[in-house]
Amino acid sequence: MIKLAIIGYPLGHSLSPAMHNASLRELGIEGSYIALETPPETLEKRIEFFKNEKFNGFNVTIPHKVEIIKFLDNIDNFVKNVGAVNTVIIDENNKFYGYNTDVYGFVYAIPENLRKNFRGQKAAIIGAGGAARAVLAGLTEMDLQEISILARNIEKSLDLQKMILKNFPHIKINFLLLDDNVDLSDCCIVVNTTPLGMQGKYEDISPLNQDTIATLPKNAFVYDIVYKPQKTKFIEYAENQGLNTLNGLDMLILQGAKSFELWTGQKPSVKIIKNSLFDFL
Ligand code: NAP
């Protein structure tokens, strides 16, 4: 019987239990995936709990994605690049292995023919928080050579630059303040990693205004990793300009599918995962 969980704090919004329990059921794997709220000061106790209760693995979300690393016995290359973990496997000897499947989800959600065209080109990323780390690692995976970070907090942008340059010293990083007038005419892809546009207080806000979006080339790809609503203001503005767009739903599904495969050795059905999220989205 497989025992899986997600840890984070707070966890009210997590879609992961629905997604993974649906895949367990579909593949006839006995076990369960539960949400375990874990306030920051209880992380060490939670690790002990996983060992004592013989869990097989877990997902990690805010605020533990970086802090968890010190409890792990091994990490994969994406984690080395990103400095954050979202998936942990626990083996039969209670050894903990950390992975970052957000990078995989981000990259493989993009249609393959477009991904290939990005090689050697320039990208822009909006935001400099946790998800921006995985997105930046994904952009380097796709071999983009120059990346502009648009954020309101220049110190966080500098941290991201350090992270990238440590492993990819040839990549050029530019910093731009997220203000009204930005020229993106040389970018082939722009990615929103802020919560602007997300259902709730930010829903009516686009991280870029229509004039800035209009500076993008006609074949640019506009990617919003926000998945609820599926058509954010940013996506709406980009579609108005006739640009190719993608929201964060496929990234969410693919990172989950990859985590599931790491724990069980079996590929879950993307369709089943999508259906399991239907009620929430
Ligand atoms: P985070 O670590 O809190 O980072 C958020 C970033 O957005 C920070 O750079 C923050 O700037 C910036 N920001 C927040 N409010 C802003 C505002 N009003 N104006 C300008 N910038 C603002 O959050 P995260 O974990 O990266 O998540 C960000 C979004 O990505 C969320 O909507 C989340 O749902 C989505 N996400 C999607 C997936 C997926 O699979 N599709 C995966 C992960 C995350 P400061 O640092 O200055 O506060």
Nearest residue to 171 (alpha-carbon basis) of 207, 215, 121 = 121
Q: Say yes or no to pLDDT of 180 above 80.
A: no
Residue 223 has a CB neighbour count (10 Å cut-off) of: 26
**Under DSSP, is residue 36 helix (H, G, I), strand (E, B) or coil?**
strand
Mean pLDDT of the region 69-93? 94
Q: How confident is the model at residue 235 (pLDDT cuts 50, 70, 90)?
A: very high
Separation of first and last alpha carbons in the chain: 30
Does 60 contact ligand 1 (Cβ within 6 A)?
Answer: no
| Residue ID of nearest Cα to ligand 1 atom 20 | 152
Q: Active-site residue numbers?
A: 65
4 within 8 A of 35, measured Cβ to Cβ: no
pTM for the model: 0.95
Mean pLDDT of the region 174-195? 92
Does 124 contact ligand 1 (Cβ within 6 A)?
Answer: no
Specify the ligand 1 atom closest to the Cα of 132: 26
Instruction: Compare 162 and 189 and report the one with higher pLDDT.
Output: 189
Which amino acid, residue 60?
V
Q: What digits encode the pLDDT tens for the residues 131-159? A: 999 999 999 999 999 999 999 988 989 98
Mean pLDDT of the region 192-215? 96
Q: Say yes or no to pLDDT of 26 above 80.
A: yes
208 within 8 A of 180, measured Cβ to Cβ: no
Q: Say yes or no to pLDDT of 81 above 90.
A: no
DSSP for residue 28: T
For 234-266, b where at least 16 C-beta lie within 10 A, e where not — what string? Answer: bbebbeeeebebbbbbbbbbbbbbbbbebbbee
Q: Say yes or no to pLDDT of 93 above 90.
A: yes
Does 129 contact ligand 1 (Cβ within 6 A)?
Answer: yes
Provide the phi-psi class of 167: left if phi over 0, else alpha when psi is between -120 and 50, else beta.
alpha
Most distant CA pair in the chain, distance: 57
